[in-house]
Amino acid sequence: MALQDIKENIARDIREPVLHICQSLVDRLAAMRPDQLQRLTYILLADFAQTRPDDDVFQSALTALTTIKHNPLTLYFVFYDEGEDREIAISASEVMQSVDEAVFIHPRTGEEIENFTGQLKPVYKASQEFVNALVPANGR
Amino acid sequence: MDGETTLRDMLNRAYNNTAYDVQLRMQSADTHEEILKQLERALALAIGHLVKNRKYKQDQSEDALTTDIVSMLNMNGIPANHDVKIGGHTDISVEMRDGFLWIGEAKNWTGKAWIFKGFRQLMTRYATGLPGQDNGAIIIYFDQEKPSDLMSKWRTSLGKLTEFTGDIVEVNELQFNSAHPHKGTGRTFAVKHYGVPLYWNPEDN
């Protein structure tokens, strides 16, 4: 799927006022290198969209871009592993399962982590389909 | 929220904000079942909003009421459309990632026959019946009194007119669920039937 097709799909399935934020984000992301698209924070994306991270329409735009057919973005979480001084990526579905079960297990040590909700940070990454669409568009 | 947003921040925001909770869980969903569950929560919110504002919805056409629901879904970031061609012009279609497709057929209550026409359109014209595309809805707008009685009539009528793959499940007086063989695939297609009570006649004047 070409980048233009992804954009046309967004224009077809999303309405204002959400649409223009989605288009701003996609245009901005499309100008980046694939390796820059793997850890996109709320504040970075909000900055791209020139809005506040807690804005309801911005939130709806993120929902649209992560759920639409040919979704450009995927939500995931990162957990900071102090022992190895690195972040560990965890799928959003696993995290929500932890929320529902009120249990989070350290992905490396297997220990239960207390107060885990404060230690998981939401970030976004470009979907593989979006990255693939960028290669012919950007020649990267 | 800022660059250090945490899951806790998100859950705090979702605590008294169902729409946000729906969005968070929809973004996180990795199965068709979870996407469907969140879509149906969003639909319930939209229907609730419509009923709350029924004073302003009197004498509106099916299309106008349906467009209101689609707009409310859109405002929650859900890619819902009205009048998209999928075997015919669907009232509400929601097409999402991973091959998910949900179709809602919406009708003003003018009698059982009109609703059954919508049901047949859903089952035989629009629904593909494929995995991830095997759920839909019949949404019935009532401007009559006691819509629960009319929903009951519709439920009884449906029981006489079509095949089922399981029992009808009554959720409440204004919603029941049914499941039917989809002729095109041989699989089960599940339908949720929502009654939308829009009767408005205040007696305090």
- The verdict on a CB contact (< 8 Å) between B35 and A116 is no
Query: Which chain A residue has the Cα nearest residue B78?
Result: A64
Task: Tell me how many domains chain B contains.
Answer: 1
Residue B146 DSSP class: -
Phi, psi at A33, each rounded to 5°: -80, 150
Percent of chain B with pLDDT over 90: 81
* Enclosing H/E stretch for A23: helix A18-30
The pLDDT score that the predictor gives to residue B99 is 94
**Residue recorded with tokens 């800022």:** B2
How high does pLDDT run on average in chain B? 92
Q: Partners of A89 in the beta sheet? A: A78
d(CA B176, CA B168): 7
Do B177 and B168 meet the contact criterion of CB atoms below 8 Å apart?
yes
| Tokens found for residue A8 | 């046309």
Among chain A residues, CA nearest to B82:
A13
Residue of chain A minimizing CA distance to B36: A67
Using 50, 70 and 90 to split pLDDT, how confident is the model at B1?
Answer: very low
Whether A53 has its CB under 8 Å from any CB of chain B: the answer is yes
Task: Classify residue B187: in a domain, yes or no.
Answer: yes
**B186 burial class (0-12, 13-18, 19+ CB within 10 angstroms)?**
exposed
Considering the domain boundaries, does residue B22 fall inside one? yes
**Chain A residues close to B1, C-beta within 8 Å:** 42-43, 53-54
pLDDT one-digit tens code per residue, B118-140: 999 999 988 899 999 999 999 99
Separation between Cα atoms, residue B75 and residue B111, nearest integer Å: 32
Residue A42 contacts B, CB cutoff 8 Å = yes
Distant-in-sequence, close-in-space partners of B54: CB < 8 Å, separation ≥ 6: B197, B198, B199, B200
ipTM of the complex: 0.91
Residue B174 has pLDDT above 70, yes or no: yes
CA distances from residue B30 to A17, A21, A112, B34, B110 in whole angstroms, order as listed: 27, 24, 24, 7, 40
Tokens coding A33: 């290198």
Query: Do A75 and B8 count as a contact with CB atoms less than 8 A apart?
Result: no
Asked whether the bond before A72 is cis by omega within 30 degrees of 0, the reply is: no
A1 touches chain B (CB under 8 A): no
CB contact under 8 A, A41 and B3: yes
pLDDT-derived band at B35, boundaries 50, 70, 90: very high
Q: Torsions phi, psi of B58, nearest 5?
A: -70, 140
* pTM for the model: 0.92
Residues in chain A with CB shorter than 8 Å from the CB of B86 are none
Q: Report domain extents, chain A.
A: 3-73+125-138, 76-121
| Residues 6+ positions from A6 with CB-CB distance below 8 Å | A26, A70, A72, A129, A130, A133
pLDDT at A83: 84
* Range(s) of the domain holding residue B50: 7-197
Identify whether B20 is part of a domain. yes
Rounded Cα distance between B79 and B63, Å, is: 18
Between chains, do B97 and A70 touch, taking CB under 8 Å as contact?
yes
Distance CA B47, CA B66 (A): 10
What residue of A is the nearest CA neighbor of B92?
Answer: A13
Is residue A139 very low, low, confident or very high in pLDDT (cuts 50, 70, 90)?
low
